[in-house]
Amino acid sequence: MNPSAAKKPRVDSTLDGLPAEQREKLTQWLLSRMGLAAVKQLVEKEFGVKTSISALSRFYTKNVGPYLIQKRRAAVVVAEAFGEELKKRPAEFDAMTADLLKQRVAELAADPSSDVKELTGLLTTLLKRDEHALNVTKFRFDAVKAVLANADLVRELHGSSISEDEKTAKLGQAIFGEDWK
């Protein structure tokens, strides 16, 4: 009798034999950085499968890289499709883009294995967007205040026979100064 034939199957081959849904869940647990001992306990509790730290380590080495590559490829396909739609109708995507960015920030913030640089970049983008919106609002408010402060000139220009461009130039000069253009 062949001595290797009597051996039990390797535990990591048991992990590779799990249904696809359980293999994906196991991969996500391994990516969560909860530690191999905690993952071992979850596998035994949730899947009813006895395993070892070394088997989990081999599973990680064999499966996590391809899993991440597959997820990345899927994300690239979605991003490319989104980019094409954005080119077709850019105005429709402003609010949706901000919502997606916020959702991605939340996902990255909740995942301890996330890329800090990506999270920082997205947060910076959102903050700059908000800052720009505040600047636009402030500019509009200040412009209305300036027009009200020059209400007499506005009335005078409104009743005058000069061209709209000349009216705009005179009011602009009064509000913003000599070099307003």
40-85 pLDDT tens trace: 999 999 999 999 999 999 999 999 889 888 888 888 888 888 777 7
- Domain assignment present for 62: yes
Instruction: Using pLDDT thresholds of 50, 70 and 90, give the confidence band for residue 7.
Output: low
Instruction: Using pLDDT thresholds of 50, 70 and 90, give the confidence band for residue 111.
Output: confident
Query: Does the pLDDT at position 25 exceed 90?
Result: yes
End-to-end CA distance of the chain: 95
Number of domains in the chain: 1
What pTM did the predictor assign? 0.44
Please name the amino acid found at residue 174.
Answer: A
Q: Tens of pLDDT along 121-161?
A: 888 888 888 888 889 899 999 989 988 999 999 999 988 99
- Domain assignment present for 122: no
Region of 70 please: left (phi>0), alpha (psi -120 to 50) or beta.
alpha
- Domain assignment present for 104: no
- Domain assignment present for 119: no
Residue 54, domain extent: 9-88
